[in-house]
């Protein structure tokens, strides 16, 4: 019998992110795991996937390796479009981005993401985070939002302390329309232990897949609100040995993100 492949949390997030992306679409990526996921998708099932980088590059060919950041010169290699930050966001406002790939510190049951502060209030927070970057505009203008973060109860909260990147707001059907934002809103939430979507009727977070060896009940224990469980909930697909080789040997060749260690608290 073949021994099971050992997969780290970051490898799991990158691989699952790749699976979620589709061919012939455009994704607005952030630094790190989103770029790695998109590169893996291009190398496997989505060769015609194109990336937008916040600094202004569109549809680059990343033949010089993974950009260290969205402003790395490698992100502009053979780009079809290379103008600047404002032009990149204008593309999303004109409807040219199918996916926004963002991160954050907190997320709630309606897919609102906080990356501004935690605890206290805006002027006197307990913890201050870096803020939106471009994520707020990405979530407001791209067609679908994909969020990535570690699965922890302190992150998956009933209500975020501050809406940095808009989701479905309070869950009302016309919230996004009244807020004046574009796109259909939150689509997937990718974690190291589960893949979530959103129920169309209630706009609440729904468990779609869970890590092999876990269970829906175990995932619920890590979330501070009641999850909807998909009728066809199933185990997450694990990357093969070949997938891991692609991730390490052609995507994150220097191990800047995939080789990071998870600190248990």
83 falls within a domain: yes
Alpha carbons within 13 A on the beta-carbon side of 70: 23
What are the structure tokens assigned to 85, written together? 């930050």
- Cβ pair 112, 160 in contact under 8 A: yes
Distance CA 7, CA 202 (A): 34
Indicate the pTM of the whole model: 0.93
User: Which CATH number covers residue 181?
Assistant: 3.40.1080.10
Query: Is 256 a member of any domain?
Result: no
Residue 53 lies in a domain: yes
How far apart CA 168 and CA 177 sit, in angstroms, is 10
Residue 222 counted as domain residue: no
Question: How many domains, the chain?
Answer: 1
The reply to whether 139 falls in a domain is yes
Tens digits of pLDDT across the chain (265 residues):
344 568 999 999 999 999 999 999 999 998 899 999 999 999 999 999 999 999 999 999 898 889 998 889 999 999 998 999 999 999 999 999 999 999 999 999 999 999 999 999 999 999 999 899 899 999 999 999 999 999 999 999 999 999 999 999 999 999 999 999 999 999 999 999 999 999 999 999 999 999 999 999 999 999 999 999 999 999 999 999 999 999 999 999 999 899 876 555 5
Pairing of strands 26-29, 99-103: parallel
User: Which residues, in sequence order, are bridge partners of residue 196?
Assistant: 189, 207
User: How far apart, in Å, do the first and last CA atoms of the chain sit?
Assistant: 35
Tell me, yes or no, whether 219 lies in a domain. no
pLDDT of residue 243: 97
Q: Give domain status of residue 24, yes or no.
A: yes
Q: Active site includes 54?
A: yes
Query: Quick check: helix, strand or coil at residue 197?
Result: strand
Question: What local confidence, expressed as pLDDT, does residue 1 receive?
Answer: 37
Range of the domain at 174: 9-105+112-192+238-251
Query: CA 46 from chain center: how many Å?
Result: 17
143 within domain boundaries: yes
Catalytic residue among 11, 54, 118, 209: 54
User: Measuring CA to CA, which residue among 68, 60, 75, 134 is closest to residue 101?
Assistant: 134
């Amino acid at each position: 019998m073949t021994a099971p492949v050992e997969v780290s949390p970051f490898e799991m997030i990158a691989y699952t992110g790749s699976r979620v992306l589709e061919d012939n679409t455009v994704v607005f990526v952030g630094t790190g795991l989103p770029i790695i996921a998109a590169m893996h998708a291009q190398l496997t099932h989505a060769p015609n996937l194109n990336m937008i980088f916040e600094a202004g590059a569109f549809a680059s060919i990343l033949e010089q390796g993974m950009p260290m950041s969205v402003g790395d010169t490698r992100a502009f290699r053979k780009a079809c479009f290379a103008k600047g930050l404002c032009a990149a966001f204008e593309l999303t406002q004109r409807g040219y981005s199918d996916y926004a790939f963002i991160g954050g510190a907190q997320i709630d049951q309606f897919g609102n993401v906080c990356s501004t502060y935690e605890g206290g209030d805006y002027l006197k927070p307990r913890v201050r985070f870096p803020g939106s970057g471009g994520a707020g505009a990405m979530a407001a203008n791209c067609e679908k939002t994909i969020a990535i973060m570690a699965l922890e109860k302190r992150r998956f909260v009933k209500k975020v302390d501050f809406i940095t990147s808009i989701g479905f707001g309070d869950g009302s059907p016309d919230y996004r329309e009244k807020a004046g934002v574009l796109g259909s809103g939150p689509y997937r939430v990718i974690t190291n232990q589960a893949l979530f979507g959103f129920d169309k009727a209630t706009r609440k977070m729904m468990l779609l897949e869970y890590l092999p060896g876990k269970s829906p009940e175990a995932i619920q224990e890590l979330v501070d609100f009641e999850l909807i469980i998909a009728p066809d909930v199933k185990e997450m697909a694990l990357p093969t040995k070949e997938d891991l080789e692609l991730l390490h040997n052609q995507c994150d060749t220097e191990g800047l993100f995939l080789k990071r260690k998870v600190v248990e608290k």
